[in-house]
């Protein structure tokens, strides 16, 4: 009996030993553990937890399969950070910005950033500034939330005005559908406003020769249901600026002649931290009297971390007050403007850091560098020829008064058998992600696929290269060389077979819309 017991004990000890060894192995190295041949956890939470190293490796392995973010010229989002920024971003992850009473100092930094940005955009001090010590504005999760808040404020402002003008009560005015005038080059953020907030889009289709709305096109689209006109300061397709200055004059005339109160929202998602450093521009910001609000992505050329955005209103009265929730803040008065509630302070911390770290001269230098590198790439592409013809038609507004973006299309006169989307795929062999896309949009209401421009077929293609601070001259040269290398392959292959009718309709279904890249 005792022999059996001893035998059993020694077997248990042996098993425990094996288990410990296996666990140790597992903890030390993913590749000689079972993890390397087990299914990834995509459907169910595993019954038992795993060693930290294993989980981390699994995440890293997935991350490796993405494109390299530093070579992603499709996205405007900042990807380069100093060590100190990484540290403060991590610190901010533990601070819930919504808890203003627990984290008052963090919230003060938020307000400081709002003030710095409002001043950068020449916002006049609202009458009630001293009550709040901060301009009417908010940190948001990117430009999308900022655009939604600005659009909502315009909508509620219009409702009040329309009800008064027509002697309607609150219920009756709710039944009226307002509209917003904007370029068809809008980003998906506005599609959300149209759909979620029930606002009719009144679209202006620009020409592909400049991608901009013409101020005189605004007049016929504005009526007594118009909540505002959006000017995009740097459309994401080509980086051109809508002419805010001219639109401001037209809006002034409309309001005077028709007794309206239409205002302008400037969607400066990318241009908000570029235009202030371009001295030749005519005023585009709060210096123009009809500009009621401006939004920007802190995480694009503001150089903060992904998930940072800003909106500033000219004043609270009949504007931001429509979307404000009052909160107590150490006994003082404070507004909360966000669509969501809890969120980390990382974006605010890094934005605050960046504004102090760069200063005006730093942002100016970075802006000049990026514009110069964009011009370097633009010039190199312009010089590429085939059979004496330029390979590309340059579509952007460079080299000045636009975003540091190079947008072009393959020259149709060259009769290439490939298009700009094939070019994207071949360039990716050199590790670069350069977005090629069709010149079409899904109608935000009918979902019908239609032309983006007034003068180009919806199935024509183009591509863009977003130049960010990390795309240095050396890398720009590599990118240009990669184009040359891509053409060696593209010119040697006949793509006509895959661009037949069936193939192109298949591609259309499959094709991502550029509105998904930001």
Ligand X SMILES: Cc1ncc(COP(=O)(O)O)c(C=O)c1O
Q: Which residue is nearest to ligand X (CB)?
A: 518
Cβ-based neighbours of 286, under 8 Å, separated by 6 or more: 118, 121, 122, 123, 124, 294, 312, 314
- For ligand X, give the closer residue by CB, 236 or 378: 236
Q: Which of 232, 244, 377, 402 binds ligand X (CB under 6 A)?
A: 232
Q: With contacts defined by CB under 6 A, name the span among 170-178, 229-237, 444-452, 495-503 that binds ligand X.
A: 229-237
β-pair partners for 96: 344
CA distance 115 to 71: 34
Binding mask 115-144 for ligand X (x = CB under 6 A): ---------------------------xxx
Binding mask 428-467 for ligand X (x = CB under 6 A): ----------------------------------------
Least Å distance between CB 309 and ligand X? 5
Q: Which residue has the tokens 């102090």?
A: 356
SS3 451: strand
- For ligand X, give the closer residue by CB, 100 or 140: 140
Least Å distance between CB 441 and ligand X? 14
Is 346 near ligand X (CB under 6 A)?
A: no
Least Å distance between CB 184 and ligand X? 12
Least Å distance between CB 296 and ligand X? 8
CA distance 178 to 313: 20
* Contact positions with ligand X (CB under 6 A) in 239-278: 267, 269-270
Is 398 near ligand X (CB under 6 A)?
A: no
Least Å distance between CB 380 and ligand X? 25
Total number of residues that touch ligand X (CB under 6 A) = 16
CA distance 51 to 67: 27
Least Å distance between CB 338 and ligand X? 13
Cβ-based neighbours of 179, under 8 Å, separated by 6 or more: 199, 200, 201, 202, 221, 223, 225, 226, 227
Q: What would the two tokens of residue 502 be?
A: 């069936």
β-pair partners for 326: 335
* Contact positions with ligand X (CB under 6 A) in 176-215: 187, 189
SS (H, E, C) 371-411: HHHHHHHHHHHHCCEECCEECEEECCCCCCCCCCEEEEEEC
Give per-residue burial for 390-429: e unless 16+ CB within 10 Å, then b.
bbbbbbbbbeebbbbbbbbbbbeeeebebbbbbbbebbee
* Contact positions with ligand X (CB under 6 A) in 65-124: 76
Alpha helices in 142-280 (DSSP H): 142-166, 170-174, 188-196, 215-221, 244-258
Is 518 near ligand X (CB under 6 A)?
A: yes
Least Å distance between CB 238 and ligand X? 11
Is 147 near ligand X (CB under 6 A)?
A: yes
Q: Which of 178, 239, 309, 436 binds ligand X (CB under 6 A)?
A: 309
- For ligand X, give the closer residue by CB, 237 or 286: 237
- For ligand X, give the closer residue by CB, 235 or 338: 235
Return phi, psi of residue 82, to 5°: -80, 160
Least Å distance between CB 236 and ligand X? 3
Question: Which residues of this protein are in contact with ligand X, per CB under 6 A?
Answer: 76, 142-144, 147, 187, 189, 232, 235-236, 267, 269-270, 297, 309, 518
């Amino acid at each position: 009996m005792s022999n059996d017991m001893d035998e059993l004990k020694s077997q248990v000890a042996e098993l425990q030993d094996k288990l410990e060894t296996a666990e140790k192995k597992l903890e030390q190295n993913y590749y000689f553990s079972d993890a390397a041949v087990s299914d990834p956890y995509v459907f169910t939470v595993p019954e038992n937890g795993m060693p930290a190293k294993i989980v981390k490796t699994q995440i890293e392995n997935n991350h490796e399969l993405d494109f390299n973010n530093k070579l992603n010229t499709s996205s405007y989002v900042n990807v380069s950070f100093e060590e100190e920024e990484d540290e403060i971003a991590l610190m901010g992850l533990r601070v819930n910005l919504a808890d203003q009473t627990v984290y008052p100092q963090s919230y003060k930094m938020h307000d400081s950033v709002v003030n710095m940005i409002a001043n950068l955009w020449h916002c006049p001090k609202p009458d009630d500034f001293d009550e709040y010590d901060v301009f009417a504005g908010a940190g948001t999760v990117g430009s999308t939330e900022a655009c939604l808040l600005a659009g909502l404020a315009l909508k509620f402002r219009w409702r009040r005005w329309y009800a008064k003008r027509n002697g309607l009560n609150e219920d009756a005015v709710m039944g009226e559908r307002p509209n917003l005038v904007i370029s068809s080059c809008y980003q998906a953020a506005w599609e959300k406003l149209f759909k979620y907030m029930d606002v009719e889009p009144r679209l202006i289709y620009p020409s592909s020769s400049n991608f901009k709305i013409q101020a005189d096109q605004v007049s016929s689209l504005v009526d007594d249901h118009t909540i505002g006109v959006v000017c995009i300061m740097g459309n994401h397709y080509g980086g051109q600026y809508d002419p805010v200055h001219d639109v401001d004059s037209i809006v002034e005339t409309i309001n005077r002649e028709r007794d309206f109160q239409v205002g302008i929202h400037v969607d400066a998602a990318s241009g908000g931290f570029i235009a202030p450093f371009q001295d030749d521009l005519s005023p585009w910001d709060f210096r123009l009297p009809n500009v009621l609000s401006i939004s920007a992505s802190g995480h694009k050329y503001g150089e903060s971390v992904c998930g940072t955005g800003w909106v500033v209103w000219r004043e609270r009265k009949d504007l931001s007050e429509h979307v404000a929730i009052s909160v107590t803040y150490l006994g003082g008065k404070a507004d909360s403007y966000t669509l969501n509630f809890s969120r980390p302070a990382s974006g605010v911390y890094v934005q605050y850091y960046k504004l102090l770290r760069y200063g005006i001269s730093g942002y100016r230098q970075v802006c000049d560098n990026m514009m110069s590198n964009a011009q370097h790439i633009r010039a190199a592409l312009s010089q590429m020829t085939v059979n004496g013809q330029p390979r590309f038609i340059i579509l952007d507004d460079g080299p000045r008064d636009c975003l540091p973006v190079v947008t072009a299309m393959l020259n149709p006169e060259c009769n290439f058998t490939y298009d700009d989307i094939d070019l994207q795929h071949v360039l990716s062999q050199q590790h670069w992600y350069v977005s090629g896309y069709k010149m079409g949009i899904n109608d935000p209401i009918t979902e019908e696929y239609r032309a983006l421009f007034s003068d180009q077929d919806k199935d024509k293609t183009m591509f863009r290269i977003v130049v960010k601070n990390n795309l240095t001259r050396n890398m720009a040269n590599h990118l240009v060389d990669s184009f040359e290398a891509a053409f060696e392959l593209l010119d040697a292959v006949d793509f006509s077979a895959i661009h037949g009718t069936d193939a192109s309709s298949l591609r259309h279904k499959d094709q991502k819309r550029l509105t998904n890249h930001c």
